[in-house]
Structure 1
Amino acid sequence: MKIGKFKMNESGLNRFFGPLESKIMDILWTGTEMTIKDVQKVLDCEKATNFNTVMTVMNRLVDKGILQKRAEGRSSMYMPVLSREEFINTQSKEMTNELMDEFGNVVVSHMLDAIEDVDDDLVAKLEQKIKEWKKEM
């Protein structure tokens, strides 16, 4: 699943989703299948949200391959295709690959510059990954 737009000026899930999509995904990533009505009730704790709006957004997330939907009686149950961690991992890998394909050495250089600002554990993980990569060559 590939998200079509990445919004640089946003933060968190809003980089991948619209505001209501982000809220819905946060709710569904709690780990339980939910109906549209269930999600709407949780959303209504913050502000009143129209059922049809929630239904439209959730069904668009199904169409995008982000949610899966199954019938249960007269209701439909929704749950994420990937966990939050799997989704973020998949999207960040996709973005990294696209940047590498398009800008190559510049991206690597900027990533290495950014590593200077992180903790030593991340640097150690990078060193280990490079060692493993060299063994495979």
Structure 2
Amino acid sequence: MKINKFKVHEKGLNRFFGPLEARIMDLLWEKEELSIKSVQTHLETDKAVSFNTVMTVMNRLADKGILNKRHVGRSFLYSPMLSREDFLNTQSKELTYELMDEFGSSVVVNHMLDALQNVDEGLVAKLEQKIKDWKKDR
């Protein structure tokens, strides 16, 4: 599942989704599986959202392969195809590969190393070990 629009200046899930999509995904990651009506009911605690709007958004997320949709009785239940962690891992990996394709490996890796100035030494040690293992496997 590839998200086609990454919004650099947004925060959190809004980098990958529109605001309503992000709220729906947050809710489904928390509750695991819900009907459209249940999602609408949970969302209405913030502000009114029509059933048809929620249905359209959830069906589009299912069509994109982000949600699983299964028929139960007279309705459908929706659940995320990936956990939040797996989704974010997949998207960050995809973004890294795209950046490397567009700007070159050395530029991207150098910028990532520059960003390490603000991380703890434990992460740096893990990265050093990963590089050692990577070199060994080559």
Give me the TM-score of the superposition, normalised by structure 2: 0.97
**What RMSD, in angstroms, separates the aligned Cα atoms of the two structures?**
0.8
CA offset digits 1:11-38 (Å, max 9, x no partner): 0000000000000000000143100000
Q: 1:119 — aligned with what?
A: 120
> Percent identity among equivalent residues?
69
Q: 2:89 — aligned with what?
A: 89
Aligned amino acid, residue 4 of structure 1: N
Structure 1 runs, 4 residues or longer, greater than 6 Å off = none
Aligned pairs (5 A) from 1:50-69: 50-69=50-69
Q: 1:21 — aligned with what?
A: 21
| 1:30 counterpart SS class | helix
| CA–CA distance in structure 1, aligned partners of residues 47 and 81 of structure 2 | 27
Q: 1:43 — aligned with what?
A: 43
Higher alpha-carbon deviation: 30-39 or 19-28: 30-39
Alignment pair present for 1:133 and 2:134? yes
Give me the TM-score of the superposition, normalised by structure 1: 0.97
Q: How many pairs are equivalent?
A: 137
CA offset digits 1:30-62 (Å, max 9, x no partner): 143100000001000111110000000000000
User: Unmatched 5+ residue regions in structure 2?
Assistant: none
| CA–CA distance in structure 2, aligned partners of residues 42 and 133 of structure 1 | 46
